[in-house]
Amino acid sequence: MTNPTSQLPPTLLWRGDEHGWLEMLDQTLLPHERVVLQLRDVDAVIEAIVHLRVRGAPAIGVAAAFGLLLGVRALAPGPMAFLDVVRSVAARLAASRPTAVNLQRALDRCIEAVRHEPLLARLFAIAQRIAADEVAMSACIAQCGKGLVPAGGTVLTHCNTGRLATVGDGTALAILFAAHRDGVRFRVLADETRPLLQGARLTALELAAAGIPVELIVDSAGPGLIARGAVQMVVVGADRIAANGDFANKVGTYGLALACAAHKVPFYVAAPGSTFDVRLPNGDAIPIEERAGTEVTELAGVAVAAVGITARNPAFDVTPARLVSAFVTDRGLLHAPFDAAIKALFDPGR
């Protein structure tokens, strides 16, 4: 059986000890070119996150943790206190992408770790721990969700939630990989995910590499196919899940959830604990990243709109909890009422 993790270089790989460097597969060049970047300073990591060379909520959290190590290493020891250096570099990284809470959560874990032990080696150890935790959570999500996949059915997924979006097997795609490894046979419809085509460029590549039958559809085809009974399950990832279960994911997710609710098709959200943000009461409080309009007015660098046409480009949308059939997490399936289920699992004050 083809192992998807054997097909591509690792999404992220740290080389050496705390004086080493971060290797990153440049996802903007996939599927045609496989270029591994060697990042040795925080500016390069920030550039990579902003330009989606690394993307996906768990993966940008891990990249930020190693980016923090690189940034602090360049400035310490120096005139500033170690913890102040850590905080100022973390603030720069935190501003790189605002919606996925994994990024801020990883930086918070790093700051907490060095509060009483202000050492570069400690920062290295916590970055490695964050990466290992994401791998373990991916595996648990896969085990938790694989039984949901309908044998002989068709699953629709949006954006990319595989190994490229995490440092493990993924979230939503990890569930599909695990079901396939168990011998469940099903087909996948991957939508293109305009404007940056994560579905066409990345998801289709990962599923095909795993031997899972996959067909691409344009984003606007999803709801109509759901209405026609061509889809038995939709599974997506998340970038931030509020305390009541409202969640942000790649723009286009909300429309799929509405179609599933209207046509009684199960709609699952797969996410690790690092994606839950119980500080936010509901989805209204989730910051939505607005990206450059040129991502919409151009396709692969070629203008598709007339000169002078501008575009609005929210990178994510918020889906209300009432449209979710269940959350598939590393700690089990969460069913409605989601506020109570999330509080029971993720509220640090419980």
Nearest to 24 by CA among 129, 122, 119, 164: 164
Residues 251-310 that bind ligand MRU (CB under 6 A): none
- Whose Cβ is closer to ligand MRU: residue 114's or residue 145's? 145
Q: Judged by CB under 6 A, which stretch of 2-10, 123-131, 210-218, 231-239 contacts ligand MRU?
A: 231-239
Nearest to 45 by CA among 105, 99, 107, 108: 107
Name the token pair of 188: 């996948």
Provide, rounded to whole angstroms, the least separation between the CB of residue 250 and ligand MRU. Answer: 3
Nearest to 58 by CA among 173, 142, 167, 196: 167
In angstroms, rounded to a whole number, what is the distance separating the alpha carbons of residues 322 and 74?
47
Q: Are 239 and 272 in contact (CB under 8 A)?
A: no
When asked if residue 198 is in the footprint of ligand MRU (CB under 6 A), the reply is: yes
Length of the chain: 350
Provide, rounded to whole angstroms, the least separation between the CB of residue 50 and ligand MRU. Answer: 11
DSSP 230-268: --SEEEE--SEEETTS-EEEETTHHHHHHHHHHHT--EE
When asked if residue 58 is in the footprint of ligand MRU (CB under 6 A), the reply is: yes
When asked if residue 98 is in the footprint of ligand MRU (CB under 6 A), the reply is: no
Provide, rounded to whole angstroms, the least separation between the CB of residue 167 and ligand MRU. Answer: 10
When asked if residue 54 is in the footprint of ligand MRU (CB under 6 A), the reply is: no
Distant-in-sequence, close-in-space partners of 219: CB < 8 Å, separation ≥ 6: 191, 192, 193, 194, 252
When asked if residue 163 is in the footprint of ligand MRU (CB under 6 A), the reply is: no
When asked if residue 168 is in the footprint of ligand MRU (CB under 6 A), the reply is: no
When asked if residue 57 is in the footprint of ligand MRU (CB under 6 A), the reply is: yes
For the chain, the C-alpha Rg in angstroms (whole number) is 20
When asked if residue 323 is in the footprint of ligand MRU (CB under 6 A), the reply is: no
Annotated catalytic residue 239:
yes
When asked if residue 45 is in the footprint of ligand MRU (CB under 6 A), the reply is: no
Q: Judged by CB under 6 A, which stretch of 54-62, 66-74, 81-89, 318-326 contacts ligand MRU?
A: 54-62
Residues that bind ligand MRU (CB under 6 A): 52, 55-58, 100, 159, 161, 165-166, 170-171, 198, 237-239, 249-250, 315
Active site residues: 239
